[in-house]
Amino acid sequence: MRNQRIIILLSIVLFLNACKDTNSSESEAVEKENTAIKVPEKDNKVIAKQNKTMLYAWVNNLRLRASSSSSSKIIKELSEGDALEYLNEKSDFTQKVNLRGIQFDEPWLKVSTEAGDIGWVYGGGVKPYKNPVDLAPSPYDVCERLLKNGRTEKYYDCQKQIMAKQLKKDNRYVEQTNDGYNFKLLGGEILELKKEMLDDSIAIVDYRYRYYIPRMGYFVVEVLEKEGGKYLLINDKSGKQISIWGYPKPSPDNKHIIVAAANNGIQILGFTPNGLDIVWEKELRANEASAPKWIDKKTIQLTIKPTDAESGDRARLIELKKDENDAWVLSPDVN
């Protein structure tokens, strides 16, 4: 009788353990299922948008065609620098074409323009777009980005804040006075810039200290005039002043300065036997140049947009660079 009780007790214990194991397995399965990560469909769309391939036309009058053939209908002619989105479709054949003296053997690519036109371009006429890093950023670049995004009020606030920081940083050399600025030159002399007043409340000529370029030896000052404005580069030793069209940005090696002024055009300054001077310039009438960016010490990227807002043309990128003869060349050329 005792043996029977022991057998019954053992059977109960084994049964309870079996039930416990079963519940544990089910619990683990439920837990794993609940912790599985599900990526929402909208995230996939965001990723796809971020990973789109951008191209740009590197030759002028590149033809956007209805199909992958040089005899198909022309949808439109593209200008050099026009941006295109690659639609991940290309021809299953290549074609030999000579562009600017270079022989290409490339397929046709299906693309979309910024205006939404969809068609095919010859692959040799486009290059991958890479957003270059500015190798010589300016203290005011963050303000320019605000202006580009249409945040005009924030842009002016940003300008004031950066100017105050630059004045504080350079207070050993620059002192703001009630009627202008005093510059303590490296030789010990004091250079005064004073407002020109029409009366007690209206200034005909006013000044704003922008920043100091110590490696080039120049202070940057904005001049506000009744009929417009300009900038001055003031030599930190002699006090000699160079008048330029707009805001200056030095090159990465501090041997050149780029100036892009919407109301005038583009200037390059460099060191000559007579010191820093304007070595290249081009007045623009039909276009405005802005946002210069030093890609390397010999290459500058600029944004160009037409002065006529109703022309329908969009802003595009161009390059100003030194050629093999050490001459500055604008590509494509604009006026």
CATH number of the domain that residue 112 is part of: 2.30.30.40
What pLDDT, on the 0 to 100 scale, is given for residue 33? 37
When mean pLDDT is compared over 195-209, 233-247, 299-313, the highest value belongs to 233-247
Task: Return the HEC string of 287-329.
Answer: EEEEEEEEEECCEEEEEEEECCHHHCCCCEEEEEEECCCCCEE
Q: What is the average per-residue pLDDT within 11-23?
A: 51
Q: Which residue has the higher pLDDT, 307 or 166?
A: 166
pLDDT, tens digit, for every residue of 123-159?
999 988 766 778 888 999 999 888 878 899 999 999 9
pLDDT, tens digit, for every residue of 183-198?
999 999 999 999 987 7
Neighbouring CB atoms inside 10 A of 17's CB total 10
* 13: pLDDT strictly greater than 80: no
The residue out of 128, 149, 169 marking a domain boundary is 128
182 is a domain residue: no
Residue 79 three-state SS? coil
What is the domain count for the chain? Answer: 2
93 is a domain residue: yes
Residue 79: give the domain boundaries: 51-128
pLDDT, tens digit, for every residue of 95-133?
999 987 888 999 999 999 988 999 999 999 998 876 677
Q: What is the average per-residue pLDDT within 246-250?
A: 97
Burial class (CB in 10 A: 0-12, 13-18, 19+), 39: exposed
- Amino acid occupying residue 235: N
* Residue in the structure block whose two tokens are 């990723």: 47
DSSP 67: S
pLDDT, tens digit, for every residue of 165-174?
999 999 999 9
d(CA 89, CA 121): 11
d(CA 97, CA 99): 6
Kindly report the length of the chain. Answer: 335
6 is a domain residue: no
What pLDDT, on the 0 to 100 scale, is given for residue 294? 94
pLDDT, tens digit, for every residue of 57-84?
888 889 999 999 999 999 999 987 788 9
Do residues 81 and 316 make contact, with C-beta atoms less than 8 angstroms apart?
yes
Residue 207: which of 217, 190, 222 has the closest Cα?
A: 222
Do residues 121 and 62 make contact, with C-beta atoms less than 8 angstroms apart?
yes
d(CA 239, CA 22): 90
104 is a domain residue: yes
pLDDT, tens digit, for every residue of 254-277?
999 999 998 899 999 999 999 999
The residue out of 128, 145, 174 marking a domain boundary is 128
Torsion angle, alpha carbons of 119, 124, 125, 131, to 10: 100
The residue out of 105, 128, 151 marking a domain boundary is 128
Q: Which residues contact 165 (CB under 8 A, 6 or more apart)?
A: 139
Residue 240: which of 276, 278, 280 has the closest Cα?
A: 276
Q: Which residues contact 123 (CB under 8 A, 6 or more apart)?
A: 90, 94, 104, 106, 107, 108, 109
Q: What is the mean pLDDT of the chain?
A: 84
What pLDDT, on the 0 to 100 scale, is given for residue 38? 38
What pLDDT, on the 0 to 100 scale, is given for residue 88? 94
Neighbouring CB atoms inside 10 A of 125's CB total 22
271 is a domain residue: yes
Do residues 95 and 105 make contact, with C-beta atoms less than 8 angstroms apart?
yes
